A and B are shown apart, each in its own frame.
Chain A
Amino acid sequence: DTAVSQTPKYLVTQMGNDKSIKCEQNLGHDTMYWYKQDSKKFLKIMFSYNNKELIINETVPNRFSPKSPDKAHLNLHINSLELGDSAVYFCASSRRPRSEQYFGPGTRLTVT
């Protein structure tokens, strides 16, 4: 049973396009997150979402927006994709804010 799943696993698209990455967790957790891991392997938090409260890392461009249709899902929408958006994006969840986080397998986004 997959605890945190993401789709798609790979996403190749052209500059200027709009794309979405889906994330679902079946752990009953209250808090979900999105992270970006760039080519140098640094992991950076993008968003934290808990009970309709969104916390945004101030360095994230507003082309990125998380959307949560329900507590089990936090999708990532990206508008006007740029070359620099190429990275691996990880979704995560935790039972409560500040408890241990469970990560998904990642989505490798390549912008050409």
Chain B
Amino acid sequence: DAKTTQPNSMESNEEEPVHLPCNHSTISGTDYIHWYRQLPSQGPEYVIHGLTSNVNNRMASLAIAEDRKSSTLILHRATLRDAAVYYCILRNLNAGNMLTFGGGTRLMVKP
């Protein structure tokens, strides 16, 4: 899987929007962009994924740059429960089943 680069940590205030960036300059045309998060002392949790178009679901929005070399996970109103490590992962359509996790971004939410 191609490599992604994320900031080590970010801070946000409760009830404000959060934009978590991810760079993936070596992305290929068949790479999907997946986001997972891991809350403290829990297993990772699927958040969202996309290929080219922006995506929305009940948890978050995913904004994908036109050249696909970067993407941004958007939490519209951060809550204390959103404090977690957020992982941006590329998954190739034609590759194996396995997810390759990087270091992720630790999001801290201040009340």
Determine the chain B residues whose CB is within 8 A of the CB of A31 once the complex forms: 97
Interface positions of B from 67 to 111, Cβ below 8 Å from A: 85, 87, 91, 93, 96-101, 103
Q: How far apart sit A100 and B32, CA to CA, in the bound complex (Å)?
A: 11
- Closest-by-CB residue of A relative to B96 is A55
Secondary structure class of chain B's binding surface, majority of residues: loop
> Across the A-B interface, how many residue pairs have beta carbons closer than 8 Å?
51
A41 to nearest B CB, angstroms? 7
0 or 1 for each of A20-53: is its CB under 8 Å from B? (1 = yes): 0000000000010100000001111100101000
User: Which of A4, A48, A106 contacts B98, CB < 8 Å?
Assistant: A48
Looking at chain A's contact residues, the main secondary structure is strand
Does residue B16 face the partner (Cβ distance < 8 Å to A)? no
Choose among A45, A55, A97, A103 the residue that contacts B45 (Cβ–Cβ < 8 A).
Answer: A103
Q: How far is the CB of B93 from chain A (nearest CB, A)?
A: 7
Give chain B nearest CB distance to A11 CB in angstroms.
16
Query: Contact partner of A103 among B41, B43, B93, B96, CB < 8 A?
Result: B43
A112 smallest CB distance to B (angstroms): 21
Q: Does B21 contact A (CB under 8 A)?
A: no
Chain A interface, number of residues (Cβ within 8 angstroms): 24
Contact of A100 among B46, B85, B98, B103 (CB under 8 A): B46
Q: Is the CB of B44 within 8 A of A100?
A: no
A residues with a Cβ closer than 8 A to B are 4, 31, 33, 41-45, 48, 50, 55, 57, 90, 92, 94, 97-98, 100-106
Instruction: Give the A-binding residues of B (Cβ under 8 A).
Output: 34, 36, 38, 41-46, 49, 85, 87, 91, 93, 96-101, 103
